[in-house]
Structure 1
């Protein structure tokens, strides 16, 4: 049986999804214990990756989430098990994607119209494990109606929003897909694949768990088609009931309102 220690942080409200800009993530230092590397050795590898990015990819931006961001470099080194060549390659692709996608330009105004559908949002409270919570209401997602580009912008905006709300010492977020009322008109394999690809390639090891809540029978064949495309993230998916969600992931005070009834 898992022992849960009371965490006062989970009772604190998170920043509103509708702030004017995506808040900057607080600076985090990674300990030797978490990286399993001696701090001096880790720093040497960070500098090596930094030099290679500067030499081979000078066109990449600098600054926060740029090619000289040492926290970002260390995070990708950890993801790539401290392989410098693999880290350089994955970082190059990730930073270039952020630049081309315009991640830093995403704001309340840029996603306002699609956000007003209520299809996805960052919950106001952390779960019992101290993780920010990204909630998706699948029954409000209509790929035949909504602009796929706007869907992707909202997705990335909310990921950034959730990550900016990480408490000190926490590294992962929880994703919840409410599948009650899900029908064929809500099916969107392309977007689901986009979501997991974004986490895999550009936000590695940030998605701690995904809950598929009250999945209807119609969702099962969709899952079988999608599962092979999700790479390692398929292992973090859990199918569960609303009751399980209530008992295992939230307190009475922090449970999202849509799961109270």
Structure 2
């Protein structure tokens, strides 16, 4: 019997199969985290535009967020503080809280050129990039769509998961982004989403694109370069379970078909439900800077699946 098509996002697992563990902090590193947290929880602190921190910004300034920036800053407290302040400013100016909305970026999404579907064996959400489905000319909104999807990846990260996988397929006459657009996206990733990339899995790289990667490589930090894998066998290599990866191109057992009118509202509903529940849990824990993501996710009861129906569990439809 043929596998039924899947049209909707896969609900995040309650717990990752094999969660990524980080080394325990040394005493010095613990003190560094506390020093950075103290800087931002000071009642007198305001970002550069002098407007007090909003609750959504305090929640973003979690215990784990501070550690991500400290690791990316080689455990230099002053550098981590500068980078966090720069990201706070960028998030406001870029419009993450008002301009870069689902409604604004939806025209970029209609062909399914970026799809959130499934989780690897470590619970990291999988973001598929399919350049052959490009439907718009290069613009600010294209990059905003990239950022919006990154934020949705974060919404779908299970408890204890802090990174994501990119699955990129350059088959079917894929149109490569320009050098300037690629640099802009890389800059955003490296400056404002440190420690968020788990793996970049890349298929069907033509020789012209090999040249492009050589041009862009000097602008990619060494840690990120080491996370790039070309033409991987994601199931045989033990990165994904078959049911968590697309059949098309990637050889999985998930026979996914993108239908925008089904997938898009389901993705928004799923992410909104999780954000609402986490925010309520965060507020119960005190609603302040430095609360652990692990705690406000743990404090959330198991979420109902807003996209499944009795006749179509886990997004499968006949």
Tell me how large the CA RMSD over aligned residues is: 3.0
Query: Alignment partner for residue 186 of structure 1, among 160, 166, 176?
Result: 176
Could you tell me how far apart the structure 2 residues matched to 1:228 and 1:81 are? Answer: 20
8 Å contact from structure 1 (residues 134, 176) kept in 2: yes
C-alpha deviations, 1:71-97, integer Å up to 9, x for none? Answer: 333432343243221012111111111
**Corresponding position of 1:98:** 91
Alignment partner of 1:211 is 2:201:
yes
63-72 or 212-221: which moved more? 63-72
Secondary structure at the aligned position of 2:230 is classed as strand
Structure (1/2) with the larger helix percentage: 1
Match of 1:22 in 2: none
8, 11, 28: which one aligns with 1:14: 11
Q: Which residue of 1 aligns with 2:273?
A: none
1:203 shift after superposition: 0.7
Gaps of 5+ in 2: 1-8, 13-20, 252-318
Contact 1:48–1:84 at 8 Å: present in 2 too?
no
Secondary structure of the residue aligned to 1:168 is coil
d(CA) in 2 for partners of 1:53, 1:140: 48
SS of 2:167's equivalent?
Answer: strand
Q: Does 1:247 align with 2:247?
A: no
TM-score by length of 2: 0.63
Q: 2:216 aligned with 1:223, yes or no?
A: no
Q: 1:204 to 1:87 in 2, by over 3 A?
A: same
For structure 1, list consecutive stretches of 5 or more residues without a partner in the other structure: 1-11, 16-30
Aligned length: 229
Secondary structure of the residue that 2:207 maps to in structure 1? coil
Higher relative contact order (CA 8 A, sep 6+): 2
Deviation at 1:33, TM superposition (A): 5.0
CA distance in 2 between partners of 1:122 and 1:65 (Å)? 24
CA contact (8 A) 1:46 1:73 kept: yes
Indicate the structure (1 or 2) with the bigger Cα radius of gyration.
2
SS at match of 2:119: coil
